Amino acid sequence: MAEAPDTPADALIAQAYAYWRTKGSSVTVVRKIICDVALRATDAFDAETLLARCRREDSQISLSTVYRTLGHLVEAQVLYEVQGVGEKKCYAPALTPQAGQSHVVCQDCKQVFPLEDPCLVLREGALARQQGFSPKNISLRLEASCDQLTQLGICDRKKDEAKGKKTDA
């Protein structure tokens, strides 16, 4: 009998492994690293950020492998894909069972920040039902400028991003 996962991320990782097994694919060491780093992330990330984080574990991981694995994780429904600024795609773990994801995309630093308000899903769902629709998935994406950056010329979130990034040089 399988043990229950310890954390929501553990459950998502188990779901990803099960997805690969049902597809007849191997759960390789590289996939395990990418899966673990992606699904334990506490923030939204793009492929390049994920690559830098994964290379702390294995310096040989390639960007093309990261992109392929991200596609699998989205298809397995353990990651949400969020459209960032321009054509840039960002990803966030599907830690909430509700059928809705809301994010703010900062036009200044290009980061994606989750909005966690279960009432948003309820309100948007109610509006859809009032119009005669049965909502299946709700996604809210807000593009915004940082008020702190506009007013003070500095953004604490942008500083955190710069400190946390590791260069590949």
Nearest to 73 by CA among 100, 52, 45, 98: 45
- Say what the pTM is: 0.66
CA gyration radius, the chain: 18
SS3 assignment, position 10? helix
CA distances from 102 to 57, 120, 128, 129, 141 (A): 30, 8, 16, 19, 6
Domains annotated on the chain, with CATH:
8-164 (1.10.10.10)
SS3 assignment, position 142? strand
Specify the pLDDT at position 122.
Answer: 74
Specify the pLDDT at position 134.
Answer: 83
Specify the pLDDT at position 49.
Answer: 92
pLDDT 10s per residue in the chain (169 long)? 456 668 889 999 999 999 999 999 999 999 999 999 999 998 888 899 999 999 999 999 999 999 999 999 999 989 988 777 677 788 888 876 554 577 787 878 777 777 776 677 677 778 888 889 887 767 777 788 888 888 888 877 764 444 444 333 3
Specify the pLDDT at position 118.
Answer: 65
Specify the pLDDT at position 161.
Answer: 43
Specify the pLDDT at position 78.
Answer: 92
